Amino acid sequence: MKEVQFKDLGKNRNYQEIWDFQESLLAETIAIKVRNREREKSGIQDFEQTPNYLFFVEHPHVYTLGKSGHIENLLASQDFLNKIQATFVKTNRGGDITYHGPEQLVGYPILDLENFKPDIHLYMRNLEEVIIKAVAHYGLKGERSKGETGVWLDVGKPYARKICAMGVKASRWVTMHGFALNVNTDLKYFEYIIPCGIKDKAVTSLERELNRQLPMEEVKDLVKNAFAEVFEAEFVPYQEPEWKIAQS
């Protein structure tokens, strides 16, 4: 079993703040890998173990545009964004534009894939499998849509709809960013973008599909359990780095 440090970062957490936090952990993990490579070149076999993390969070209303995205898929002006209390951030993940907001479960795995399997395609399919397993608990058949990352319902039908968006970045096999599962999400915020740049498919949520609000903690537990199963992981509490503790 691979050890993964877990922490729920809570609600209403600023997107940029959490992005910076992810970047810091990614940089620390890469630094360990660089040191290990230097040791290996010097014939030293005493290597540091790279950490793995999974964070859950809920953001305030924010639209994020991936590095390959198109600004034209944001349909709202800055004045309108101010009116609906939403912000806009250009980010370095893959994919196009998406929305994050309250009652949406955002998961950020920061994994060294060399601790699992160094295969980005497999990693993305495994992330999808986590959500597919989680929503199956509610009798929903989550599916993959060819060429369209994420988890969908009723793929191949005129009313196909996305329930979970995904976008990641990886450097030296270390991942960041992740997935956004619509739980009790206010779906009207998706009306102001072309979600993921896909014009002919809708967006949905667990609440809409089941016609009832769901306890966020229940959904979080389902996703955590599915993640542990798919990635053969064992969760331990997040360990704050010593240098951060010293500064706090």
Instruction: Give catalytic residues, as residue numbers.
Output: 196
Q: Which tokens in the block code for residue 201?
A: 């498919």
Q: How far apart are the C-alpha atoms of 24 and 31, rounded to whole Å?
A: 11
Tell me the residue ranges of DSSP E strands in the chain: 2-8, 53-57, 62-65, 87-90, 97-100, 104-110, 143-145, 148-153, 161-171, 174-182, 202-203, 233-237
Q: Which tokens in the block code for residue 23?
A: 């970047």
The C-alpha torsion from 228 through 229 and 231 to 236, rounded to 10°, is 20
Give the N- to C-terminal CA distance of the chain in Å, as an integer: 32
**φ, ψ (nearest 5 deg) of residue 51:** -80, 160
Q: How far apart are the C-alpha atoms of 142 and 158, rounded to whole Å?
A: 16
Residue 11, CB half-sphere, CA atoms under 13 Å: how many? 5
Q: Which tokens in the block code for residue 194?
A: 């072309």
